[in-house]
Amino acid sequence: MVKKAKKGDKESLLKLIMDQKEDYYKIAYSYMGNQHDALDAMEDMIVKLYEKIDQLKKHDSFYSWSKKILVHCCYSIYRSRSKVVLVDEWQDQMSTSGHSREHNQVDKNMDIHQWLSMINPRQAEAIKLRYFQDLDYQSIANMTNTSLGTVKSRIFNGLKKLHKLSGGALNEEN
């Protein structure tokens, strides 16, 4: 399938992408934080894959290569857009969510994301990929173009910082 895609077969490339669309979306969403931007990043990735498929050296590394491209697309979109949180929209979501249990979960998720925003971005990235996307260390190393030891160090040190920031609250939930 990859060989066909490299020869310009758009259908083969699309099939390769569709086979992993959920993984791509999860990764994009974890970087972008919302559906709209995640889908934009995926669209950008598809265009770049089509343009650069001839640069792929090893056929069996298509998915790790394409995920690296997706991460770069996420960074590019993130840098180019200014993020604005509309308080009214947030309050509307909170008032329509209903149950206090859902409010507590939203609060916990907001706390975690707030704490992640307070640590080194590379550490936060590694933690999100490991614990939100359930990727193994080697996959994270391949996606971020870093060594396995660096990934482990970023996660370890990032988790230490998160523990301090949360005042131990992260451990109490588990």
Model-wide pTM > 0.85: no
Answer left, alpha or beta for residue 99, where phi above 0 means left and psi between -120 and 50 means alpha. beta
Listed in sequence order, the residues at least 6 apart from 45 whose beta carbon sits closer than 8 Å to its beta carbon are 24, 28, 66, 69, 70, 73
Q: What is the mean pLDDT for each group of 10 consecutive residues in the chain (174 residues)?
A: 86 92 91 88 93 88 91 82 47 50 45 80 89 86 91 91 75 48
Please name each of the domains of the chain with its CATH number. Answer: 2-80 (1.10.1740.10), 99-173 (1.10.10.10)
